[in-house]
Structure 1
Amino acid sequence: MVNTNALTAKDWYDRGNEIKRAGNFAGALDAFKRSIKLNPEAAAPWIGLAKLLDANSQFEEARQCFLLAVSAEPNHLMSRQMLATSHQKLGYVIEAEREYYNAIKLEPNSYISYLGLGQLFEDIGKPEQSADAYRQAMKCAPNKQDALASLLELSKFVDIAKEIVQAESILAKLKNREKALVGYGLGKAYEQQKNYDAAFEAYNVANIARREDSGTFNREAFDSRIEGMMQLFSTEFFKARQGWGNSSKRPIFIVGLPRSGTSLTEQILASHPQCFGAGELNVLTDLATGTPDRLGNAKISWPETASYLSKQQIDELAEDYLDGSGKRSPDTARKVVDKQPLNFWHLGLIAMAFPNARIIHCTRDIRDCGLSIFTQNFNETQSWSTDLEDIAYYWRGYKRLMQHFKQISGLEILDVNYEYTVSDIEKQGRSLLDFVGLSWDEDVLNFHKSERAVQTPSRWQVRQPLYQSSKARWRNYQCYLSPLIKAAQTE
């Protein structure tokens, strides 16, 4: 048996990493804290603690630990880089830029620092500075392709003719991860040139590479998940829990398929002085998946746990959500917008915890929405997004689930159609504000002038006045989109 009293700060740090790899969050947390107590002047245990908190979606707590890591060792490069990323994630733009430059001063040839700086400039709508940073990153590490892929996606704003040739010359030789990144980037560059056949081929190469790595979409598991939710969250289920939950009207949830206009809708709302756009939060997902721990029963998982949660536990969960979602919101914000599109999976939990919440359901022509999904590099959990047939299948299932919750949850749900929004922003803006209980404000018409950071693939679209080219984009690829065209015919 180990005599823990004899362990050094480094011993506790190493122990924390071992325990973390074993999946014991609480144990790793304790080990890193013990290491810090013995030697608070070392950056490594602060970083270990911060990364642990970040993985647990405790982003502000993680940021504070990164700050302490930098304070402990000001010349520690990783501390500076991770602090910059943490600032960026939470919207502290000025602080993030400063820390990236501090990291570059420490190591002028740091690929990671320049890559992060380029992404930051994208978030705040500065394409020229972003391109400069990406090109510097490429000089630092010519064999890494993340910066090249990101630069290709700036083709609407900067001249990237040289980089297109470079990407074409290496695409076939790349491993799947980088092949996907560069393929999506090339697709967007070709599309900007109106070379739609070449663009679709590049997108297809990217999706094949992603599918080889992440696997194919499991339709049977998807159907089972939907059926299970529809059976569990019934009229009787909600009747038995009438009067439960937090009465707050502050939360607004924007849901729908990705690329359905959720970023645009959030940007419109967030332009109102009394509304704060929190971005795509994972707080609700984390709370849902954490319900077994709340119950002290690891044998069942969400959504089965919903049946066992008590009124008090739902109240506590609601408070945890309000704490997690509203940390960065100003006191003047009467409303906080969570625009995680896939929260449509959690409408049952929302109905339990926030019966007075407003749900904005974004819809879009499946031909355009599906195409836009196909041309984006989503994370590996979204295996359905790499194949047009699977996108159409997922869309049908999602529609069934949305219709179910509309009928039985008791939630106030407003459908907001992307095409209608683009056609008449003022009419849709007034409808949105009325629905969420805010008075009209002209600022919502100037949403594209907002200086808030946007960290989604729609970052460039929401910084421009509404444009009609995003409507019927699918026609440029009509000969390739049979699954989506068939799906549209069933609406």
Structure 2
Amino acid sequence: MNGDPRMAGLAPELAATVHAGARALRDGDPRRAEALLQQACRQAPEHPEPLRYLAILQLHTRRAPQAIDTLQRALHITPDDALLHADLGTARSACGQSDAALDSWRRACELDPRQPTPWFNLGRNLQQRGDTEAAIEALERACTLAPELLPATVLLGDALAHAGRFDEAAARYRAALRLHPACGDAWRGLSNIKTVALDDADAATLRAQLQRRDVADPDRVAMGHALGKLEEDRGRHAEAFAAFAAANALQQRLTPWSAQAFERFVEQALAASETLPAPLDPELGREVVFIVGLPRSGSTLFEQILAAHPEVEGASELPDLGIVLQQESQRHGVPYPQWVPQASAEDWHRLGRDYLERTERWRTTRPRFTDKQPDNWKHAGILRAMLPGATVIETRRDPLETAWSCFKQQFYSQPHFANDPGNIAAYLRGCERAMDRWRARDPARIHLHRYEDLLADPEPRIRALLADCGLDFDPICLRFHEARRSVRTASAAQVRQPLRGDTARARAYGAALDPLRAALNLPPG
């Protein structure tokens, strides 16, 4: 205890109090931990370490603003302490202060470049912001300093895949699996590199790992999806179906999704958005092209085409619209969309400006950008008041192919509709019904584009897509697969290839998908 260099200058009994507080927090007794750490802070107000531990406690108990204040008090004492800057970055990130958090982690890396954790946190958050090349650089530093740091190895694989460097990504995922053969995130990453099939040795490893009883459920789910994809690639559709079904059944038990709650939400959103005030500025949001609809409906492909245009930046799946509306819900004290009927034109203008300020970095080199968050369809009805100048592109694909592709894909956010065929059908119907209504209310701004139409006759459909977005035709959009950009979705490999007409997969499963067909009101296979 006395050998801890960070405790230097503390009386031994105070160092013991700080360590006792840390043990209490670790043992699940935050009240006792806080009493001990507050006592140490009072008795040693000019020492940063009790304050740092107190901030860790405040973060653990979801009091990030207080943690920021506490860490800034500690930094006033020792302004060049790398660990304090690193912890401040974590606290700022928890408060949604992403730019300030990056500044803190960068400062920590400058002060002590030998520590892997600040490099990892910097890389992880740069990757979330879409700054993939800088993320790769930071994550490579973390992996060099700590080759055994599994999350950094996996995330570096993700960043390399998003940058189109698939061989290097696969090597990182393989490195992660050497550290932890049941690492679900690594198996998911390898499986999502759809241009390189997993092999017989992978199949044997996956089956062996799935037989273990000590595998965590999230890893088991991810490995089940990877095994299903492997078996599908080998043409063993019965085995693939069994693997996908088992993985989804487990996920549904872990995180059940309620179709009834979803259907209530759709009804509320339709009713709340029926009458909205006229916008103060009808052109507000003209910079934005929202691409919405179901996952796996071709939205990444449509974004890749638009992002090839010299006036458009492809920003991928942004959280900002949801965050702006969530913050407004917190301000009102009621969930979205219950407060929508009370919002004034001034409120909607303010919210639109908030969104545009949050996304300003996507317009630094090109005047317009895409926001391809599929879930944004839930908010399409209020955009004519909040961002009336924005374009909304809804993508649709054959319903059975969309549903089956969703069932096969493991999604990060849970609970999720894609774990159950009946839930998939309910979600698809609710999305299409709402979008049909909203498009009828705002036909000049909300446009429907179908994946199969694009495959069948690319150039006319690409011309129509650009026209709907108010963009002049540019032939470079026909060569969208050559665009060099970060693609942060499961389709990162596919959209870097020319269009293919053989993407349908459901037919090969025959009668096994009849329950899904029945839920979608389609005839048996």
Q: How far apart are the structure 1 equivalents of 2:494 and 2:506?
A: 17
Matching of residue 248 in structure 1 with residue 289 in structure 2: no
Check the 8 A contact 2:182/2:223 in 1, yes or no: no
Q: How far apart are the structure 2 equivalents of 1:418 and 1:57?
A: 36
Matching of residue 226 in structure 1 with residue 226 in structure 2: no
Q: How far apart are the structure 2 equivalents of 1:253 and 1:149?
A: 27
Match for residue 447 of structure 1 among 480, 483, 496: 480
Match for residue 427 of structure 1 among 460, 464, 476: 460
Q: How far apart are the structure 2 equivalents of 1:482 and 1:57?
A: 45
Check the 8 A contact 1:280/1:341 in 2, yes or no: yes
Check the 8 A contact 1:80/1:100 in 2, yes or no: yes
Deviations 1:324-363 (A, max 9, x none): 12314333x2211100011011123322211121100001
Q: Which residue of 2 aligns with 1:79?
A: 118
SS in 2 for 1:416: strand
Supply the AA of the counterpart residue of 1:206.
A
Check the 8 A contact 2:181/2:209 in 1, yes or no: no
TM-aligned CA distance change 1:328 to 1:52, over 3 Å: farther
Deviations 1:349-400 (A, max 9, x none): 3222111211000011110000010011113434321011110111111222
Task: Point out where structure 1 has 5 or more consecutive residues left out of the alignment.
Answer: none
Q: Which residue of 2 aligns with 1:311?
A: 345
Alignment root-mean-square deviation, CA: 2.5
CA shift, 1:51, in A, is 3.1
Matching of residue 259 in structure 1 with residue 296 in structure 2: yes
Check the 8 A contact 2:192/2:491 in 1, yes or no: no
Q: How far apart are the structure 2 equivalents of 1:159 and 1:303?
A: 44
Supply the AA of the counterpart residue of 1:72.
L
Q: Which residue of 2 aligns with 1:113?
A: 152
Q: Which residue of 2 aligns with 1:398?
A: 431
Q: What does 1:63-462 correspond to in 2, within 5 Å?
A: 63-142=102-181, 144-154=183-193, 156-157=195-196, 160-173=199-212, 174-215=215-256, 217-234=257-274, 237-238=275-276, 240-243=277-280, 247-293=284-330, 295=331, 297-298=332-333, 300-331=334-365, 333-409=366-442, 412-462=445-495
Q: Which residue of 2 aligns with 1:43?
A: 82
Task: Point out where structure 2 has 5 or more consecutive residues left out of the alignment.
Answer: 1-34
Q: How far apart are the structure 2 equivalents of 1:397 and 1:424?
A: 29
Q: How far apart are the structure 2 equivalents of 1:246 and 1:32?
A: 43
CA shift, 1:410, in A, is 6.4
Q: How far apart are the structure 2 equivalents of 1:222 and 1:428?
A: 33
Check the 8 A contact 1:153/1:189 in 2, yes or no: no
Q: How far apart are the structure 1 equivalents of 2:101 and 2:282?
A: 29
CA shift, 1:490, in A, is 6.4
TM-aligned CA distance change 1:156 to 1:309, over 3 Å: same
TM-aligned CA distance change 1:431 to 1:246, over 3 Å: closer
CA shift, 1:155, in A, is 6.3
CA shift, 1:227, in A, is 1.5
Q: Which residue of 1 aligns with 2:48?
A: 9
Q: How far apart are the structure 1 equivalents of 2:230 and 2:74?
A: 49
Report the TM-score when normalising by structure 1.
0.91
Q: How far apart are the structure 2 equivalents of 1:356 and 1:198?
A: 49
Check the 8 A contact 2:316/2:372 in 1, yes or no: yes
TM-aligned CA distance change 1:97 to 1:474, over 3 Å: same
Identity of aligned residues (%): 26
TM-aligned CA distance change 1:229 to 1:411, over 3 Å: farther
TM-aligned CA distance change 1:415 to 1:66, over 3 Å: same
Deviations 1:452-485 (A, max 9, x none): 11111111111111111213x2101231222442
Q: Which residue of 1 aligns with 2:508?
A: 476
Of 56-65 and 194-203, the range deviating more from structure 2: 56-65
TM-aligned CA distance change 1:328 to 1:383, over 3 Å: closer
SS in 2 for 1:477: helix
Of 201-210 and 399-408, the range deviating more from structure 2: 399-408
Of 244-253 and 270-279, the range deviating more from structure 2: 244-253
SS in 1 for 2:363: coil
Of 169-178 and 35-44, the range deviating more from structure 2: 35-44
Where does structure 1 differ by over 6 angstroms across 4 or more consecutive aligned residues? 1-5
TM-aligned CA distance change 1:370 to 1:245, over 3 Å: same
TM-aligned CA distance change 1:36 to 1:407, over 3 Å: farther
